[in-house]
């Protein structure tokens, strides 16, 4: 049955995705969705005959935010898939399961993921210059160096850095890396403006 095969493959893809996301980021929302998805796959497998599941390539994700966005993309696609196969399947019991899988994705998973995404964005806004974010930019520094850079960046952000601190930051060996990876072109303009004001 075509619809069953589509649903089995998509739920299996979701289980592999959420398992990978939870293992990589340890975010509990991924684990909660994973456990519910396993139950959904079990329900579908009661109808299974000789269908085989597709192989899924692992994802290359850097940040929790990327992981949440990927999960939301998966759930958005699920809406279209389950809407389509719910309308085309002839087995009433299977149609009911498809509808429940669709409703759970729409009413539970998406809401939970969007809430987690907003929390993640709030943290990034509050602590853009924090230790964890500097690590995410790939700076392989010891904790003291990261703390020192983080302190200077926070002062720059708040406009409290002295001319000597700004000069020290500009002379730091990781300045060019930070400028490209974390601060970007706008950061360069921002620092130049601070220098103009201080001189």
Give yes or no: residues 74 and 118 share one domain. Answer: yes
- Lowest model confidence (mean pLDDT) among 8-12, 45-49, 55-59, 193-197: 193-197
- Lowest model confidence (mean pLDDT) among 64-73, 112-121, 123-132: 123-132
pLDDT for residue 183 is more than 50: no
Query: Running DSSP on this structure, what letter comes out for residue 48?
Result: -
Give yes or no: residues 87 and 168 share one domain. Answer: no
Give yes or no: residues 87 and 177 share one domain. Answer: no
Residue 88, domain CATH: 1.20.1260.10
| Domains of the chain: total | 2
pLDDT per residue over 152-174, tens digit each? 767 766 677 777 776 776 666 55
Q: What is the pTM of this model?
A: 0.61
pLDDT per residue over 136-152, tens digit each? 555 555 556 656 666 77
Give yes or no: residues 36 and 109 share one domain. Answer: yes
Give yes or no: residues 157 and 59 share one domain. Answer: no
151: domain range?
131-198
């Amino acid at each position: 049955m075509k619809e069953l095969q589509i649903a089995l493959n998509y739920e299996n893809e979701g289980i592999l995705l959420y398992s990978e996301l939870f293992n990589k980021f340890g975010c509990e929302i991924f684990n909660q969705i994973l456990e519910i998805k396993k139950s959904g796959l079990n329900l579908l497998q009661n109808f299974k005959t000789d269908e085989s599941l597709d192989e899924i390539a692992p994802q290359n994700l850097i940040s929790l935010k990327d992981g949440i966005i990927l999960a939301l993309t998966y759930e958005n696609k699920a809406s279209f898939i389950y809407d389509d196969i719910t309308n085309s399947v002839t087995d009433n019991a299977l149609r009911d399961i498809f509808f429940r899988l669709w409703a759970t994705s729409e009413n539970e998973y998406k809401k939970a993921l969007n809430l987690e995404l907003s929390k993640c964005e709030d943290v990034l806004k509050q602590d853009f210059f924090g230790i964890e974010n500097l690590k995410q930019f790939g700076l392989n520094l010891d904790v003291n160096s990261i703390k020192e850079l983080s302190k200077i960046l926070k002062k720059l952000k708040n406009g409290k850095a002295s001319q000597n601190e700004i000069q020290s930051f500009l002379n730091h060996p990781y300045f060019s890396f930070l400028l490209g990876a974390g601060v970007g072109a706008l950061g360069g303009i921002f620092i130049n403006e601070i220098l103009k004001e201080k001189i």
